[in-house]
Amino acid sequence: MGNLLRCCCPPEPPENVQNKKERKIVRFFMVGTGAAGKTTVVRQLKCLCKERPRSYKAYDEDWEQIPIENIFTEQEMTQFRKVIRNNIINAVYNLIHQTTQWGHTHNAEESAQRIIQTVDRADVEGKGSFNMNIPSTMGADILAVLKEPSIADTLRVHDKMARKWHIEDGTLHFLCEEQITRLFDDEAELTTTDIVHSRYPTTDIQDFRFSIGKMNIQIHDMGGQPTELVKLPEFFNHWVTQDREGYKNFVLFVTSMADFNVPDEDEPSRTALERSVKILERILNEDAVQQCGLLIFFNKQDRFNEIATILQTTEEGRDEIKKFLGDTMKKGTRETSNSCSSAYKAVQMPRRNWTPGNARSELYTTL
Instruction: Report the range out of 68-77, 176-185, 261-270, 350-359 with the highest average pLDDT.
Output: 176-185
**At residue 48, does pLDDT exceed 90?**
yes
**At residue 339, does pLDDT exceed 90?**
no
**What's the confidence (pLDDT) of residue 140?**
96
CB-based contact 214:11 (threshold 8 Å): yes
pTM here?
0.73
d(CA 192, CA 143): 23
**Binding site residues for Mg(2+), as ranges?**
39, 202
Read off the pLDDT band of 333 (50, 70, 90). low
232-256 pLDDT, tens digit per residue, is 888 888 898 888 888 999 999 999 9
**What's the confidence (pLDDT) of residue 205?**
77
d(CA 172, CA 189): 20
**At residue 361, does pLDDT exceed 60?**
no
Q: What is the 3-state secondary structure (H, E, C) of 67-111?
A: CHHHCCCHHHHHHHHHHHHHHHHHHHHHHHHHHHHCCCCCCCHHH
Rounded to an integer, the average pLDDT of 92-116 is 95
**What's the confidence (pLDDT) of residue 228?**
77
177 compared with 267, residue with greater pLDDT: 177
**What's the confidence (pLDDT) of residue 15?**
42
Provide the 8-state DSSP code for 210. E
Read off the pLDDT band of 290 (50, 70, 90). confident
Domains and CATH numbers, the chain: 25-72+202-324 (3.40.50.300), 75-197 (1.10.400.10)
Task: State the DSSP H helix or E strand holding residue 31, giving kind and residue range, or none if neither.
Answer: strand 25-32
How would you label 250-285 residue by residue, b for 16+ Cβ within 10 Å and e otherwise? bbbbbbbbbbbbbbbeeeeeebbbbbbbebbeebbe
Rg over alpha carbons for the chain, rounded to the nearest Å, is: 22
**What's the confidence (pLDDT) of residue 16?**
41
70-102 pLDDT, tens digit per residue, is 999 888 899 999 999 999 999 999 999 999 999
Which of 3-12, 18-27, 275-284 is least confident? 3-12
**At residue 365, does pLDDT exceed 80?**
no
**What's the confidence (pLDDT) of residue 268?**
81
Is residue 141 classed as helix, strand or coil in its secondary structure? helix
For the chain, first and last CA: distance in Å? 5
**At residue 359, does pLDDT exceed 60?**
no
Rounded to an integer, the average pLDDT of 7-29 is 61
**What's the confidence (pLDDT) of residue 39?**
84
**Binding site residues for GTP, as ranges?**
221-225, 299-302
**Binding site residues, as ranges?**
39, 202, 221-225, 299-302
Which of 132-141, 142-151, 296-305 is least confident? 296-305
Rounded to an integer, the average pLDDT of 44-56 is 94
Q: What is the 3-state secondary structure (H, E, C) of 229-284?
A: HCCHHHHHHHHHHCCCCCEEEEEEEEEEHHHHHCECCCCCCCEHHHHHHHHHHHHH
177-194 pLDDT, tens digit per residue, is 999 999 999 999 999 999
| Mean of pLDDT over the chain | 83
Residue 42's CB is within 10 A of a number of other CB atoms, namely: 17
Of the candidates 214, 254, 189, the one whose C-alpha atom is nearest the C-alpha of residue 30 is: 254
**At residue 38, does pLDDT exceed 80?**
yes
